[in-house]
Amino acid sequence: MRLWLLLAALWVAALSPAQAQQPGDELRISVLTFAPGETYWQRFGHNALLVENTVNGANAVYNYGMFDFFQKNFFLNFARGHMVYRLDVDTLGRTLALYASEGRWVYQQVLALDAAQRLQLAEFLGRNAQPDQREYRYDYFRDNCSTRVRDAVNSVVDGALQKQFSTQATDVSYRFEATRLVTPIPALMAGMDFIMGPAGDAPITLWQQSFVPEVLMQALRTVQVNGQPLIAEEGYLLADQHSPVAPAAPLDLLTLTLSLGLLLGLALPLLAARRQQTWARWTFATLTTTFWLICTLAGLAMLAVWTLTEHWVMWADRNLLLALPLCALLLPAAWGSVRPHWVVSAWQKKLALLVAMAAALTLPLLLLPGAQQHGQWIALLLPIHLGMALALHRAK
């Protein structure tokens, strides 16, 4: 009996090391989330995947968010919406040193994956980091650093993330999230809001909203895989109290744009009526020339983006009705108004009225399903167009 017990003990002792060394047992995989930064391209925050070997201490941070300003035709490709980003690999130490130098926190969420899943994800990342696979076509909302991390994790948990996130509606849109995150840079926020079309206003699910790294970080806490939480442990690797805080909502521009629109819309006919005074002529000429030139250039840019690029979220921008390129034909009337004897032709008056009517068409379009949410730009530009049309109508 004693001999049998001894043999059984030896058998268990021999078997246990083999079981402990099954492939993937030594790995630990985490999602890293990084605070937003001060620079405009850092405002969305960032995330990556960390693979650690708990036996030999090796580690690798897989970062899908790399781009290169010196890449061949980078700015041309950026303008076309044909952006190429890549996956880079670095050590955790160098990664933390970089973000510490930028004053940005780093948050770790260790994934509760089994050995086979850890090995599968580590092998996938290793293959993806090879020179022939590491580059990918970047999309701000559908294929960025966060969605790549999300999709990689989703692939090893049998689609659990997509199943759970896709059924959760949100009360935000791509426009809301994009403008919210760049609100600390007001000029960029306003420009981004102006160039986004109705596609940016469609309701999105949590799956889609997880293009934002901090949203994905929070959403991962809710994921259950086989009845167990996906996150095994979490906490700050680098806590920096000076990291920029992402605003809860975008800056509300309506009060400002409506006030400015009404001010200029009322001022233009009054200035035209006082044209006998030099200051009024020059002020009117400067305002009208600047306004119609901006509308012309903005309208041409929106047309080009819609017809010549892959920036799908900017297609069919209804702000085009507020900034028609036809305004270029009114420029001679604008700069000609500086002369004491200003003559406006009948076709210029009709064209100014047509431009104002096109701008007014944006109001009923707001009532249609899937309408673009651009009331702040209507409030700014429609009164100015109406004031312009009235000023030209009264001219000789």
Residue predicted with more confidence, 13 or 328: 328
> Is pLDDT above 70 for 4?
no
**C-alpha span between 216 and 64 (Å, rounded):** 15
* AA identity, residue 50: L
**C-alpha span between 43 and 212 (Å, rounded):** 10
**C-alpha span between 140 and 207 (Å, rounded):** 14
Least trusted range by pLDDT, from 74-83, 264-273, 358-367, 368-377: 74-83
Residue predicted with more confidence, 244 or 13: 244
pLDDT in tens, 248-292: 899 999 999 999 999 999 999 999 999 899 999 999 999 999 999
Alpha helices in 81-227 (DSSP H): 92-101, 115-128, 145-156, 160-165, 174-181, 186-195, 206-209, 213-220
- pLDDT at position 2 is 43
What mean pLDDT do residues 342-363 have?
96
pLDDT in tens, 126-171: 999 999 999 999 999 999 999 999 999 999 999 999 999 999 999 9
**C-alpha span between 86 and 83 (Å, rounded):** 10
- pLDDT at position 72 is 78
> Is pLDDT above 70 for 8?
no
Grade residue 241 by pLDDT with cuts at 50, 70 and 90: low
* AA identity, residue 57: G
Nearest to 372 by CA among 295, 296, 305, 315: 315
Q: Do 153 and 111 contact (CB within 8 A), yes or no?
A: yes
Grade residue 35 by pLDDT with cuts at 50, 70 and 90: very high
- pLDDT at position 14 is 39
- The sign one gets for the Cα dihedral 362, 365, 367, 369 is negative
Residues forming beta bridges with residue 137, ordered by sequence position: 84
pTM comes to 0.88
- pLDDT at position 6 is 35
What mean pLDDT do residues 379-394 have?
96
**C-alpha span between 132 and 145 (Å, rounded):** 18
Residue predicted with more confidence, 109 or 36: 109
**For the chain, domain boundaries:** 22-238, 254-394
Percentage of the chain surpassing pLDDT 70?
94
> Is pLDDT above 50 for 380?
yes
Report the mean per-residue pLDDT for the chain. Answer: 91
pLDDT in tens, 43-75: 899 999 999 999 999 999 999 988 877 777 777
> Is pLDDT above 80 for 307?
yes
Both tokens of 180, joined, read: 């919210």
pLDDT in tens, 198-211: 999 999 999 999 99
- pLDDT at position 332 is 95
Topology of 22-238 in CATH? endopeptidase fold (from Nostoc punctiforme) (3.90.1720)
Both tokens of 237, joined, read: 């690797």
Both tokens of 186, joined, read: 């007001």
β-bridge pairing 59-66 and 27-34:
unpaired
Q: Roughly what angle, to the nearest 10 degrees, separates helices 186-195 and 278-308?
A: 60
> Is pLDDT above 50 for 12?
no
Residue predicted with more confidence, 5 or 342: 342
What mean pLDDT do residues 117-121 have?
96
Residues found in the chain = 396
